[in-house]
Structure 1
Amino acid sequence: MSFQYSEWPAYVPVAARRKQAALQVEKLRKKGQAVAPVRIEGRAIATTFWGKAWCDNLEGYQDYENRLPRGRSYVRNGSVIDLQIASLEVKAMVSGSSIYKIKVSIAAVPKARWQSLCQDCAGGIDSLVELLQGRFSKGVMERICRQDTGLFPKPSEIKFSCSCPDSASMCKHVAAVLYGVGSRLDEKPELLFQLRAVDGKDLTANLNTTLPLTKTGPAAGKVLDAAEDISALFGLEMVATDAAAEAGSDALIVSRTAATVERKSAAAKTEAMKTGPKRKQAQPRAKAAVKPKARSAARPTTSKS
């Protein structure tokens, strides 16, 4: 649908747009609608490996280079008032002259491509925690980010629509949402695997079959780092390692055995105390029984005198 220049809404300054976006978010929340606005602090839209890699992938295709700049300004000033990432799709609302609804459909990673990617990365990622934190070698990083054959979608795998009147192939609202995805991956990198309909654990599934035979397990430092990484990622406090738990289990067994021996010893002492006095009381009774007999035998002699 085409529009005349006179039909376009008036330009809204950045400060007014931010205020309008905040009011719209508050209004939606009062209605009971769960919204997840994109908040950008500073100039950088994304700061982690996954967020930056998503944005770099978008900017690496000429199809988008003319439309992305306006989207960057929109996402920075808080115009993306809601962004929801699910399997194979992104739904969002952007505040402009009005509130526009955007839907972005992302194709699933082709099975053959995913298998090839997992095979190439096998042995290069130690754990799912390291995967989500982007802690792996430069070679693995390059393979994951490779255009057309990596994890990130290419233009032909991205379809989008917006309720705004802009007839361009990619309006600024769609561009803002695509950048918003990069910002959201800073917070929740696992959403990328959900979006592409793959399981991130597959990238570490072949770890044991590809490592050198001389490597029987992770170094002690890596075990400690993994525990700290899990604590940081999920907000948990790691109380003890497996080795400490095993040592504690052995100590508990020894403690229980010692307690059993002590109880048996105490029971034996108690039994001895109960039976000992009975034997001592039986001896005086035996002597008392003998004395009357001795007196009765002496009485005839006394009577003769």
Structure 2
Amino acid sequence: MEDDERRPTYAELGKRAAHLLADMQTGGEILHPVVNTTRKLASHFWGFAWMKHLARCEESGLALAPGRSLLRHGCVLDLELAPGTVHGKVMGERLYDIRIDLTPLDEERMDAIRHACAGKIDSHISLLEGKLDDALLRQLCDPDTGLLPAPEEWRMSCTCPDWSEPCPHAAAAVYAAGTLIDGDPSLLFLLRSVTLDDLVGKAPEIASAEDFDTDSLSRTFGIDLDQL
């Protein structure tokens, strides 16, 4: 293969991404770039659970490693999570648009999750920090019984010409979603269309200070409990 036909390295793609990002932002586009250069990829419970789940998917043969490299080299120029959907822009040989739709949790599975959580979660903060009973955590982190989406629940599309499933750009978006969840675990519940009160239950008429310790939540994740 001639030099001018070779695939660019991840470092070269990262440089292209940085230049394009600067140009797009200068032009007034509002983007939400995601970069994760850490070795473990996550440092909080739900982010770690997401990354561990992806690692198991890789061990089962799902080709996600190229996406991890794109993320680490700053190629995810935009990513947003919404109920049931991930949208993004990822730099490959050019900039590609990504969309990932998740199969909604069916009512039977959601009822089982509510039943398992009933009376076992004393606050929003405990849920967001993953400070729960081990058996409950195992259920919530199991892709068959909990909140993490199994590979067959992902429907990925990308404007690139790569026919692999997933393509590297969609894989980068999946890993980038985990990075966002690590920084703000409420995004996992948003993505799965689950409200915190679905699992914690209705707050008592007179709530305890622990339940609404906004300072604690802000220190841990930099988010405001009043917005959840």
Q: Shorter-chain TM-score category?
A: 0.7 to 0.9
Amino acid at match of 2:56: G
Structure 1 length-normalised TM? 0.65
**Distance apart, 1:224 and its partner CA:** 9.7
1:108 pairs, out of 100, 104, 110, with 104
What stretches of structure 1 move > 3 A for 4+ residues in a row?
A: 61-64, 222-228, 233-236
Q: Which residue of structure 1 lines up, in the alignment, with residue 121 of structure 2? A: 125
Deviates more, 1:132-141 or 1:102-111: 132-141
The answer on 1:16 being equivalent to 2:12 is yes
Give distance in 2, aligned partners of 1:88 and 1:231.
Answer: 26
Give distance in 2, aligned partners of 1:118 and 1:37.
Answer: 34
Q: Which residue of structure 2 lines up, in the alignment, with residue 73 of structure 1? A: 69
The answer on 1:201 being equivalent to 2:201 is no
SS in 2 for 1:60: helix
Amino acid at match of 2:216: D
**Distance apart, 1:134 and its partner CA:** 1.8
**Distance apart, 1:205 and its partner CA:** 0.7
Give distance in 1, aligned partners of 2:88 and 2:55.
Answer: 21
Relative contact order: is structure 1 or structure 2 higher (C-alpha 8 Å, sep ≥ 6)? 2
Amino acid at match of 2:75: S
Query: Please, what is the CA RMSD of the aligned residues?
Result: 2.7
User: Is the Cα–Cα contact under 8 Å of residues 66 and 171 in structure 2 kept in the other structure?
Assistant: yes
Shift of the 234–54 alpha-carbon distance from structure 1 to 2, 3 Å rule, reads closer
Q: Deviations over 1:35-93 (max 9, x none)?
A: 11112132222221111211222333469634111111111111111111111111111
**Distance apart, 1:106 and its partner CA:** 0.8
**Distance apart, 1:9 and its partner CA:** 5.7
The answer on 1:45 being equivalent to 2:32 is no
SS in 1 for 2:165: coil
Q: How does 1:260-271 map to 2 (within 5 A)?
A: none
Give distance in 1, aligned partners of 2:217 and 2:165.
Answer: 42
SS in 2 for 1:100: strand
Give distance in 1, aligned partners of 2:120 and 2:109.
Answer: 18
Give distance in 2, aligned partners of 1:183 and 1:91.
Answer: 14
Shift of the 42–227 alpha-carbon distance from structure 1 to 2, 3 Å rule, reads closer
User: Is the Cα–Cα contact under 8 Å of residues 126 and 207 in structure 1 kept in the other structure?
Assistant: no
Amino acid at match of 1:49: F
Give distance in 2, aligned partners of 1:223 and 1:160.
Answer: 40
How many residue pairs get aligned? The number is 220
Q: How does 1:184-199 map to 2 (within 5 A)?
A: 184-199=180-195
Uncovered stretches (5+) of structure 1, i.e. residues with no partner: 209-216, 237-305
User: Is the Cα–Cα contact under 8 Å of residues 10 and 73 in structure 2 kept in the other structure?
Assistant: yes
